Structure 1
Amino acid sequence: MWHKPQLLNTLADLLFLVGAAALLAAGAVWLLRVPALPVQYVLFETPLQHTRRGEIEQVLPGSLRGNFFTLDVSHVRQTLLQLPWVRGVQVRRLWPAGLAVQIEEHQPVARWGEGYAEMINGHGEVFAALLPEAEMRRLPLLQGPNGTARQVLERFVSFREMFADVGEQPVQLNLSSRLAWQLVLADGMRIEIGREHPKWPVEARLRRFVEIYTKEMAALEARPTVVDLRYPNGFAIKLAAADAVQPKGK
């Protein structure tokens, strides 16, 4: 073997590669086991409107365990997702000692249920959080059986667009356990829309009322308190100054 230089060169190269691999492995073990390169700061890249710094400082330190390489970023993400206003989180490492965090907060568009602590965001998702009472009261109130929040929100948006053409503002939409719809306007007028029917769709029923709304309301002596659309060929109204329900045809 000593008289074969080519074989000796090949053996030397092999030993060099083995030694280099051993050094790399030792370095990796050192980085994993030695508390080097600790995470020293967390950079929040998005402005936070509802989530408070104190809430973050209360939950985040417990998830910052390990060094720059061993820290579990998925655990950091799950920890921040537990905060009431947080809808989504992205976490990435910033060399050599930081974390960059992007937080997506819930954007409330309505109150849900009893309207005290639960709200709906623009995706139709229900979340539990608190707002100052004055801000809560400015949000419309939506109600319905469990699992119907997205459906109720979609219907509310559609109904609101209909009434915008006549200068009215819906503030409450209820879906009962029997799946009957009830809409309330800002002035307190309650509109009983009723249940969905294949030959008598809810939106068509309400659109018919909106189309004749201006003419019919102008002809009345008092503002209706209740409008009942649960008639195939018309609707009925109850005036504020009278107890009788007055049917209206097409």
Structure 2
Amino acid sequence: MRALIKVLCALSLLLGVIYIGMKLPLESIPKTMADKAKKPIAEVNVVGEFTFLSKQDVQNIIASGIEDGFLKQELKTLKTRIESLAWVESVNIKRRWPDKLDVQVEEYKPIARWNNDGVITVYGNYIEVGDNSNLAYLPMLKGDESRSEEIVQIYVMLTRLLAEREIKIAEIEVNDANAWKVRLDGFYTIDLGKGNTLDKMKNFLVVYDSQLYGLGEKIAYVDVRYEKGVAVKWKQGNTNLVVAN
């Protein structure tokens, strides 16, 4: 019996030591974490290629959105606030111990202007940016916003057709009657009319290769709304029908 009592006492003592050893750290952890959660954010690092977006605008919106400490700050809400800026495509925010935030910002990359207040991105997305006159080096696409996807698709296909001849598009305009006009960069406007836009451009290129190449400075306007050939209006002279051989 004495031996059993000694064993039980030893076991109780051992369990007590283990309990105390476990109890102290567990009690101290919540207090430490609470202190860290309340610790203010000391630094925010904003990185990315800022071509169209102002880095200062991003920093300002972050400053106005930080409301809690390092661990309590809601990153999802802060991310949503930054993504509300017009040129922001994506945002990634990470905590960096002990009191910093790293913010990675990706901009939309435009390939064309849309009317006077928007742009089309490399993925074909339309975004409204307000006045886009500072992007005058990009081609202009004009048309109803509801048809933006169709117009962009045809713009891309026309661009590929013309690229073989190192010709660039300066502007595409599609009116309410679905009539297309394409202005070539440094050259003239081509009236494609309604329907069969790609086929008509191919017909134009046949005439261009055979009879119009090198005459861009003399041409004012080209009308391809004909089955055979194109009508050419010269800057000095009359309009005549040019038929490809």
TM interval, shorter chain, is 0.7 to 0.9
Give the C-alpha shift of residue 103 in structure 1.
0.5
What is the TM-score of this pair, normalised by structure 1? 0.76
In the other structure, the counterpart of 1:118 is 118
* 1:208 aligns to 2:200 (yes or no): no
1:55-134 equivalence runs, <5 A: 55-114=57-116, 117-129=117-129
Distance in 2 between residues matched to 1:222 and 1:141, nearest whole Å: 21
Q: Is the 8 A contact 1:32 1:70 kept in 2?
A: no
In the other structure, the counterpart of 2:243 is 248
Q: Is the 8 A contact 2:113 2:132 kept in 1?
A: no
1:99 partner SS? strand
In the other structure, the counterpart of 1:151 is 150
1:20–1:157 CA distance, 2 compared to 1 (3 A): same
Instruction: Give 1 or 2: higher helix fraction.
Output: 2
Distance in 2 between residues matched to 1:54 and 1:165, nearest whole Å: 41
> 1:158-180 CA distances to partner (integer Å, 9 max, x unpaired)?
22232233343221012222333
1:65 partner SS? coil
1:47–1:234 CA distance, 2 compared to 1 (3 A): closer
Q: Is the 8 A contact 1:222 1:241 kept in 2?
A: no
In the other structure, the counterpart of 1:36 is 38
* 1:217 aligns to 2:216 (yes or no): no
1:220–1:173 CA distance, 2 compared to 1 (3 A): closer
Q: Is the 8 A contact 1:227 1:237 kept in 2?
A: yes
Distance in 2 between residues matched to 1:177 and 1:241, nearest whole Å: 32
Q: Is the 8 A contact 2:170 2:184 kept in 1?
A: yes
In the other structure, the counterpart of 1:174 is 173
The percent of aligned pairs where both chains have the same amino acid is 19
Give the C-alpha shift of residue 209 in structure 1.
1.5
Residue identity opposite 1:203 in structure 2:
L
1:242–1:42 CA distance, 2 compared to 1 (3 A): same
Q: Is the 8 A contact 1:118 1:126 kept in 2?
A: yes
1:107–1:130 CA distance, 2 compared to 1 (3 A): farther
Distance in 2 between residues matched to 1:221 and 1:111, nearest whole Å: 25
Q: Is the 8 A contact 2:207 2:242 kept in 1?
A: no
1:223–1:165 CA distance, 2 compared to 1 (3 A): farther
Give the C-alpha shift of residue 229 in structure 1.
2.0
> 1:185-225 CA distances to partner (integer Å, 9 max, x unpaired)?
123411111233xxxx3212211221231322159798332
Give the C-alpha shift of residue 24 in structure 1.
5.1
Residue identity opposite 1:86 in structure 2:
V
User: Rg larger in 1 or in 2?
Assistant: 2
Distance in 2 between residues matched to 1:22 and 1:84, nearest whole Å: 52
What is the TM-score of this pair, normalised by structure 2? 0.77
Give the C-alpha shift of residue 56 in structure 1.
2.4
Give the C-alpha shift of residue 247 in structure 1.
5.8
Distance in 1 between residues matched to 2:25 and 2:121, nearest whole Å: 53
Distance in 1 between residues matched to 2:201 and 2:108, nearest whole Å: 31
1:92 partner SS? strand
Measured on the aligned residues, the alpha-carbon RMSD in Å equals 3.8
Give the C-alpha shift of residue 53 in structure 1.
3.6
